Amino acid sequence: METLYHQTNKQIQEVQSLMGNLEKTDRQSVHLLENELQARIDQIFTHLERLEILASKEPPNRRQNAKLRVDQLKYDVQHLRTALQNFQHRRYAREAQDREREELMSRTFTTNDADTSIPIDETLQLNSSLHNAHRGMDDLLGSGSSILNGLRDQRSTLKGTHKKMLDVANMLGLSNTVMRLIERRATQDKFIMIGGMLLTCVFMFLVIRYLG
């Protein structure tokens, strides 16, 4: 298990390093880097599935620690996958805007009738304003999606950690009072997380309603 763990951890660090090159890569090559990152992330998830099986087979005195280490790797790679998806969403939006702008610039306008003539400068200005508004909405939606994914990941991690803490506490023979304090803190964290998710959803709804 140790060999596969260190190998997977090294792969995560390599993906983190490559993620920093996304913004600096030219438009013709960026999709190749995205495909490489996606393939590496998929391979890491495959290794994590194997690590979960191996962790469950560890001796009882090392099993809890092994599962916590695997959960940390899973948490890290989930954030990398979310960051890659957000970058791709922004890139698709920019490319769509560029195509629309090129189509508008290449369109032939006629002035046969003064009543039907199109003021090109005003049209371009309006189109630019609309694109900026759409870009702002896309960025807000991407950020909201990232926050929601992060909250879901944290909820999963907290639930797993809570269960493992209870298991460890049982093994160590902690008192019932300490056990109740741990459960009460976990319940408070759950309500805080749900409240944060609701506030994020309300914020995204208001942004879409008033900017749309």
CATH number of the domain residue 93 falls in: 1.20.58.400
| Residue owning tokens 């999606």 | 145
The answer to the question of residue 90 being in a domain is yes
The answer to the question of residue 96 being in a domain is yes
Model pLDDT, residue 117: 45
Taking Cα atoms as reference points, which of 144, 51, 40 lies closest to residue 84? 40
The answer to the question of residue 38 being in a domain is yes
The answer to the question of residue 182 being in a domain is no
The reply to whether the predicted model has a pTM over 0.75 is no
Model pLDDT, residue 114: 46
The number of domains in the chain is 1
The answer to the question of residue 36 being in a domain is yes
Instruction: List, run by run, the mean pLDDT of 10-residue segments along the chain (212 residues).
Output: 87 88 82 89 91 87 87 89 89 84 70 48 62 64 66 66 64 59 74 79 73 59
Domain span including residue 28: 1-104
Model pLDDT, residue 150: 66
Model pLDDT, residue 96: 85
Model pLDDT, residue 115: 46
**What 3-state class would DSSP assign to 178?**
helix
| Burial of 74 from C-beta contacts in 10 A (0-12 / 13-18 / 19+) | buried
The answer to the question of residue 23 being in a domain is yes
Contacts of 137 (CB under 8 A, 6+ apart): 207, 208, 211, 212
The answer to the question of residue 197 being in a domain is no
How far apart are alpha carbons 59 and 74 in whole angstroms? Answer: 22
The answer to the question of residue 71 being in a domain is yes
Indicate the helix (H) or strand (E) that contains 59: none
In the chain, what is the straight-line distance between the N-terminal and C-terminal CA atoms, in Å? 52
Model pLDDT, residue 18: 87
